[in-house]
């Protein structure tokens, strides 16, 4: 297995292009299942999760052609010949469950494996199931698979309120509702930019949707959707991660394509920590002023709050802050697995349930580390950039799920970072 070796302590200066959003692309790709006309996505990120979704769609009979080095995905679901999303693919990636709503709406039936345990918590699917049941679907769990069936006349519009503003459930229900008969209203819908991007793409395909970006989505069902071309929105989590690079090492980095409204609550916390964030014509320019960063308290929340997917990276920054910070994780249980690894690099962190108390140290020290999920892994990369000496991060396949050309992007700004090929 590959590892990444970093010699820390170098200030970063330069520019980093930010890719299209993994999480938006993973929701946009299954939208192809809703139409028999082609859907083309531009600005797609080149990541292993996108490859997994490609395999899943192909297993259902969709055609997915990569163009322009994988940045353009041309998809067609003209001839779907399978309605079973197999465990072997779904277990690799929870977002595979996003084929459920579209298949149910277009074909009237779908069989989708439950994703199974996840390193960052239980992550059930009850909200997806209840939402689709409200549209008239019958859903049973048999042999680890959800067997879903639409009523004889197809799905029917309904009013519903989600118990929690789940991103995945909102996406699944939204996609299914585009082809349901009548009006669907989803209250307490997720407001993430990835939902807005999906709604905008579906609208280009002929869907009638109002309210994206607010807590109430109203969808007027249509008989069929047509083809479209859509650019994937900027990845706000990749953006936030690279904004933290100069914050942790010192220096100035311009994140190209970044926009403040994608990361407003995160940028506010960076400001409190003493980091300058400036919106430019090309993106976001981030600079670290002299001296140590300030301690700040952070609570993760659904958008527009502080994203859970930036909590681990923010913790890496706060490990060297002047003072004590408290990070509260409210979205996922068990999402502090990076804390023991950061501790091995000299950090002072105490975890109690959903809270982590981080008392800053002057300097982290390099060490061999590994992590069990994507964002935890990249938090170790950030810590390593600031640490004294060498850090070897193993289990790099987690990083490849969410960060394209990570070594090149950081290396271009002066980081001493290289990938070592494993057996």
Question: Nearest-CB residue to ligand UD1?
Answer: 168
Question: Nearest to residue 224, comparing CAs of 197, 205, 196, 204?
Answer: 205
Which of 39, 91, 29 minimizes the C-alpha distance to 60?
Answer: 29
| DSSP assignment string, 166-220 | -HHHHHHHHHHHTTSBSEEEEET----HHHHHHHHHHHHTT-EEE-TTSS-EEEE
Task: Give the pairing of strands 12-17 and 251-256.
Answer: parallel
- Residue 128 found at the interface with ligand UD1 (CB under 6 A): yes
Q: How far is CA 144 from CA 49, 108, 141, in A?
A: 22, 20, 6
Can residue 174 be called a binding residue for ligand UD1 (CB under 6 A)? Answer: no
- 191 part of the interface to ligand UD1, by CB under 6 A: no
In the region spanning residues 380 to 409, those forming contacts with ligand UD1, defined by CB under 6 A, are none
DSSP letters for 65-98: EEEGGGTEEEEE-TT----EE-HHHHTT-GGGGG
Based on DSSP, count helices (H) and strands (E) in the chain, helices before strands: 14, 24
- CA-based radius of gyration for the chain: 21
As measured in angstroms, the least distance from the Cβ of 343 to ligand UD1 is 23
- Residue 25 engages ligand UD1 in binding (rule: CB under 6 A): no
Tell me which of 10, 52, 166, 200 binds ligand UD1, using CB under 6 A: 166
Per CB under 6 A, does 176 bind ligand UD1?
A: no
Is residue 331 at the binding interface for ligand UD1, with CB under 6 A as the rule? yes
Residue found by looking up tokens 């090929």 in the block: 421
The two tokens of residue 384 are 């390593």
Question: Which helix or strand (DSSP H or E) is residue 14 part of?
Answer: strand 12-17
| Site for ligand UD1, residues 241 to 260, rule: CB under 6 A | none
By CB under 6 A, is residue 338 in contact with ligand UD1? no
- Residue pointed to by tokens 């010192």: 250
**Per CB under 6 A, does 188 bind ligand UD1?**
no
Q: What are phi and psi of 370, to 5 degrees?
A: -150, 160
Q: Which is nearer to ligand UD1, 159 or 164 (CB)?
A: 164
Q: Is 332 a residue that touches ligand UD1 (CB under 6 A)?
A: yes
CB of 127 to ligand UD1, least distance (A): 3
Of 127, 132, 146, 275, which lies in the binding site for ligand UD1, with binding defined by CB under 6 A? 127
118 is catalytic: yes
The distance of closest approach from Cβ of residue 128 to ligand UD1 in the complex, given in angstroms and rounded to an integer, is 5
Residue choice 10, 23, 200, 311 for contact with ligand UD1 (CB under 6 A): 23
Among residue numbers 293 through 322, which ones bind ligand UD1 (CB under 6 A)? 308-309
Distances (CA, A) of 7 to 48, 57, 243, 383: 26, 40, 20, 11
Tell me how far apart the alpha carbons of residues 363 and 231 are, in angstroms, rounded to a whole number: 41
Q: Which of residues 68-107 bind ligand UD1 (CB under 6 A)?
A: 94-95
Taking the least distance from each CB to ligand UD1, the nearer of 26 and 31 is 26
Selecting among 118, 201, 255, 319, the annotated active-site residue is: 118
Residue 168 interacts with ligand UD1 (CB under 6 A): yes or no = yes
* Catalytic residue list: 118
Name the residues that contact ligand UD1, by CB under 6 A: 23, 26, 94-95, 121-128, 164, 166-169, 194, 308-309, 331-332
């Amino acid at each position: 297995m590959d590892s990444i070796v970093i010699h820390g302590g170098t200030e970063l200066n330069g520019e980093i292009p930010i890719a299209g959003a993994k999480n938006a692309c993973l929701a946009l790709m299954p939208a192809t299942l809703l139409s028999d006309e082609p859907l083309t996505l531009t600005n797609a990120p080149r990541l292993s999760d996108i490859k997994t979704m490609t395999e899943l769609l192909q297993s259902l009979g969709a055609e997915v052609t990569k163009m322009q080095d994988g940045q353009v995905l041309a998809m067609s679901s003209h001839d779907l010949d399978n309605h079973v999303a197999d465990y072997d693919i779904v277990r690799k990636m929870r977002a595979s469950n996003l084929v459920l709503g579209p298949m149910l709406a277009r074909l009237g039936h779908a069989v989708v494996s439950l994703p199974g345990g996840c390193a960052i918590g239980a992550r059930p699917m009850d909200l997806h199931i209840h939402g689709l049941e409200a549209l008239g679907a019958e859903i049973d769990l048999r042999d680890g698979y959800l067997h879903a069936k639409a009523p004889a006349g197809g799905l029917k519009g309904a009013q519903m309120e989600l118990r929690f503003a789940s991103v995945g459930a909102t996406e699944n229900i939204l996609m299914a509702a585009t082809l349901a008969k009548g009006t669907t209203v989803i209250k307490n819908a997720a407001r993430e930019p990835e939902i807005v991007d999906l709604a905008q793409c579906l609208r280009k395909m002929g869907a009638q949707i109002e309210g994206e970006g607010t807590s109430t989505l109203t969808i007027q069902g249509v008989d069929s959707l047509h083809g479209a071309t859509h650019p994937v929105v900027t990845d706000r989590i990749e953006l936030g991660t690279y904004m933290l690079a100069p914050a942790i090492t010192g220096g100035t980095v311009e994140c190209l394509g970044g926009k403040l409204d994608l990361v407003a609550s995160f940028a506010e916390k960076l400001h409190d920590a003493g980091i300058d964030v400036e919106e430019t014509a090309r993106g976001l320019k981030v600079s670290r002023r002299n001296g140590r960063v300030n301690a700040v308290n952070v609570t993760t929340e659904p958008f527009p709050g502080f994203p859970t997917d930036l909590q681990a990276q923010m913790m890496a920054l706060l490990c060297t802050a002047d003072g004590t910070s408290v990070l509260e994780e409210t979205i996922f249980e068990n999402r502090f697995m990076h804390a023991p690894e950061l501790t091995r690099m000299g950090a002072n962190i105490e975890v109690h349930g959903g809270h982590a108390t981080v008392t800053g140290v002057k300097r982290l020290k390099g060490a061999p580390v590994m992590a069990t999920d994507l964002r935890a892994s990249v938090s170790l990369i950030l810590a390593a950039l600031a640490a004294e000496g060498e850090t070897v991060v193993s289990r790099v396949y987690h990083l490849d799920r969410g960060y394209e050309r990570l070594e090149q992007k950081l290396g271009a700004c002066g980081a001493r970072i290289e990938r070592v090929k494993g057996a």
